[in-house]
Amino acid sequence: MNTAGFDGKPVREINIAFLRAAFGFGLAWVSWQLYAPEAFLFGLIAAAAAIGATKRLIEGLWKTWRLMARERKLARYRRQGGAPKADTLADEDDLRARGLIE
């Protein structure tokens, strides 16, 4: 991957989304373990945490897919052209030889 002009912000956002999903699923698992008919709120907490974690997981997967599509598109553009080449500047003699100046 060519990293010229790449600040890493999309990768950080993806990692944060997956980290939040992991914490959400962890909270859901712990809350579900504490769930009992007498303490039904733990079940609601587990359900809410699982729904939120699922949303974050989908968000992380979507951002990953978009980053990969962007990188593929940039690679296609890079393959299209040749390597950049330096060109000399025309000096006064070259311009006179071509009749552009007198």
Residue 30 lies in a domain: yes
User: What's this model's pTM, rounded to 2 decimal places?
Assistant: 0.69
Residue 55 lies in a domain: yes
Burial (CB < 10 A; 0-12, 13-18, 19+), residue 49, is: buried
CA dist 91 and 21 (Å) reads 63
Residue 36 lies in a domain: yes
pLDDT tens for the chain, residues 1 to 102? 555 556 789 999 999 999 999 999 999 999 999 888 788 899 999 999 999 999 999 999 999 999 999 999 988 988 887 777 777 888 888 888 888 887
Residue 29 lies in a domain: yes
Total count of domains within the chain: 1
Structural domain range at position 48:
9-81
Residue 94 lies in a domain: no
DSSP three-state, residue 39: strand
Q: In this predicted structure, what is the pLDDT of residue 37?
A: 79
Residue 37 lies in a domain: yes
User: Tokens 């974690």 sit at which residue?
Assistant: 53
Residue 60, number of CB atoms within 10 A of its CB: 20
